[in-house]
Amino acid sequence: MFVYKKTTSTLKLSGHTKSRLDLDIKKLRWKKEWEAIFIKISTTDHYQNLLKRLCKSNDISSRKVRFENVEDVVIIHVKNHLKEGVDLESFKILNLVLQTVVPLGIKFNQQLYLYPGGNRLDRVAITFKKNDYVLLNKKLEEGDF
């Protein structure tokens, strides 16, 4: 990463001549766009807020549920903390997901992650396509049940 001073002198990069001021402006624009996208995602994720509040109302730690955005997929991870078997809170969270998503007609996949060499469950991952997750949030925002 390079740090440039805001001057009007030129800088030669990859055979092209660019002014340092232009490079700084492009960095600043990219940073503002990224911050705007981050703020938009964090403030409009109605399903994440709903699921965490439902967990809290059912006396389930909201830390058991972790949301992750990967390219065009949204993943909800539910961690199993028992050495043997599956803890009841994990099933309650999966039940909450089923009760809230299925009536809205949103498609999702559910995958179990097991530890190697045994029948011990590590976590459950619920995956949504980005478009389906955006549709879910839109339905929750508009109250379209």
Q: What is the CATH number of the domain that holds 128?
A: 3.30.70
Rg for the chain, CA atoms, rounded: 22
User: Model-level pTM greater than 0.75?
Assistant: no
* pLDDT reported for residue 25: 52
In this structure, the answer to whether residues 51 and 35 fall within a common structural domain is no
Between 114 and 10, residue with greater pLDDT: 114
pLDDT per residue over 49-82, tens digit each?
999 999 999 999 888 899 999 989 999 999 988 8
Range of the domain at 58: 45-142
In this structure, the answer to whether residues 76 and 138 fall within a common structural domain is yes
In this structure, the answer to whether residues 38 and 51 fall within a common structural domain is no
HEC assignment per residue over 22-70: HHHHHHHHHHHHHHHHHHHHHHCCHHHHHHHHHHHHCCCCHHHEEEEEE
In this structure, the answer to whether residues 75 and 137 fall within a common structural domain is yes
Share of the chain above pLDDT 90, in %: 43
